[in-house]
Amino acid sequence: MKLHPVRVYKSDENLAREDQLAWKIAEVASERIDATDEVADMVINRIIDNASVATASLTRGPVVAARAQAEAHPVSRNGAGSTVFGSDLPTSPEWAAWANGVAVRELDFHDTFLAAEYSHPGDNIPPILAVAQHLGSTGAELLRGIVTGYEIQVDLVKAISLHKHKIDHVAHLGPSAAAGIGTLLGLPTETIFQAIGQALHTTTATRQSRKGEISTWKAHAPAFAGKMAVEAVDRAMRGQTSPTPIYEGEDGVIAWLLDGPDARYEVPLPEAGEARTAILDTYTKEHSAEYQAQAWIDLARKLHREYPDLTADRIERVIIRTSHHTHYVIGSGANDPQKYDPTASRETLDHSIPFIFTVALQDGAWDHEKSYSPERAGRPDTVALWNKVVTEEDAEWTRRYHSNDPREKAFGGSVAITLTDGSTIVDEIAVADAHPLGARPFGREQYVAKFRGLAEGVLAPSEIERFLDTAQNLVNLTDLTGLTVKGDFPAVTPKGIF
């Protein structure tokens, strides 16, 4: 990997195009590099993972609405169209990217990468797959495109913080998806460069979508970025240009939305000829909740087994000591009263460590539907214990969160449960059980089991097996239309414009 220095330039400094970050990203995307076997295997895992969580969300309101919007748009000219999860109707690729992007993100249940910024790199798959289906790409070509999408998003996330300036993390997704589509189609550097510029320009938004009362837009935000990436590549392919330098310009993203005119970053990108392996640094979820809650669910389940009589009336106080990110984003440090509100939206509750730890401790389990039900959230003993749970930032856990050493990088913390008799239960966890260094790391067997578990009762048994067979044969596919799931899921939603 090579570190590329990035700063703001005044217009009269005339930063050469070849020295701009967007161009350097485009150079990575335009170089044809075959995936290693390990990377190819992980791409298949994540295609299965995305289908798992999309299948589980097919009847939820945001997904139904997005699917109805996509179904209202016929296949655009110059292509065969793209599939939509849960639908028999092909649609235009940008609308398939939209609908499938919402389905994948709705339950907050697929992969993650955390560093200077937050991300869900699996969000790259819906737009890249949609374009691949529409234009008749092969499985091998799709594989290379997805590898690039992961590589670029992970590399940007390692170097540039967005949330520090209250910019939503999908600002890294627009450029990575555009780069991935560029790789898929074998586009030249210049075209990908222009697409990246437009994709970034149109996908910078504030983090209010993840603050306070979190709305259904949370699932739509990455889908919008994917849709914009498809449109940006189409426009660039037609010879149209985009704002430049999009990152480094004196009125650009860094100068006015991020660290300002004096900003300095070092962005890692692969050298020419170097394998793209960033997907191997990412990790999926065993539980339907924000990633920084994964380890806490596992620790709470463990404590439930070890202390089965640990009822709410026996607990005086629970203090969770964790990283800065966890404390301020999903902990009590966010100062969001909604994180303690039993009537809050599902989107709010899956970003509340106090709620999640409480329910997992009481139940010894976590379910993507039952754990969030209004009846479960409103149970009196749950509300009582929930209001006794607070988080605190711990400097050591913050340091480990940002560590570049994968052996010590951590997304957990320690918990101290003070009982009414004065005694204290103390325990800690560094990473989730499903993490590559966790107690039960996810491999192909676990990804397949996750799909089967979430698809059972939703899809026909024959459809479950058909999809798994198709996905696991990715590198040999010449027809990508089978990389979807079908069933009887009518789009019952209030009528819109389309």
Reported as a single tens digit per residue, the pLDDT across 129-139 is 999 999 999 99
Quick check: 490 pLDDT over 80?
A: no
β-pair partners for 416: 319, 426
Candidates 142, 144, 135; CA nearest to 237 is: 135
Mean predicted lDDT score pLDDT of the chain: 96
Query: What is the model's pTM?
Result: 0.94
Section 10-26 average pLDDT: 97
- What percent of the chain shows pLDDT beyond 70? 100
Which range is least confidently modeled, 173-177, 214-218, 246-250, 291-295? 214-218
Domain 2-281: CATH superfamily, name plus number: 2-methylcitrate dehydratase PrpD (1.10.4100.10)
pLDDT greater than 80 at residue 446: yes
pLDDT in tens, 66-105: 999 999 999 999 999 999 999 999 999 999 999 999 999 9
pLDDT value of residue 212: 83
Cβ contact 113:119 at 8 Å:
yes
* Structure token pair of residue 24: 């350097």
Mean pLDDT of 242-256: 97
Amino acid at 397: W
The pLDDT of residue 88: 93
Domains 2-281 and 291-429 share a fold: no
Residue 327: what are its φ and ψ, rounded to 5°?
Answer: -65, -45
The share of the chain scoring above pLDDT 90, in percent, equals 96
Does residue 491 surpass a pLDDT of 70?
no
Pairing of strands 118-119, 113-114: antiparallel
pLDDT digits (tens, 9 = 90+) for 374-418: 999 999 999 999 999 999 999 999 999 999 888 899 999 999 999
487 confidence band (pLDDT: 50, 70, 90): confident
Q: Which tens digits make up the pLDDT trace of 321-352?
A: 999 999 999 999 999 999 999 999 999 999 99
d(CA 373, CA 432): 24
pLDDT given at position 145? 98
Residues 6+ apart with CB under 8 A from 78: none
Segments making up each domain of the chain, as ranges: 2-281, 291-429
Q: Residues 311, 419: contact at Cβ < 8 Å?
A: no
Q: Indicate left, alpha or beta for 150 from its phi (over 0: left) and psi (-120 to 50: alpha).
A: alpha
- The confidence score (pLDDT) of residue 209 equals 87
Architecture of the 291-429 domain: 2-Layer Sandwich (3.30)
Q: Which residues of 54-66 are buried (b: 16+ CB within 10 A; e: fewer)?
A: bbbbbebebbbbb
Report the pLDDT value the prediction gives residue 27, as an integer from 0 to 100.
98
State the Cα–Cα distance between residues 219 and 226, nearest whole angstrom: 12
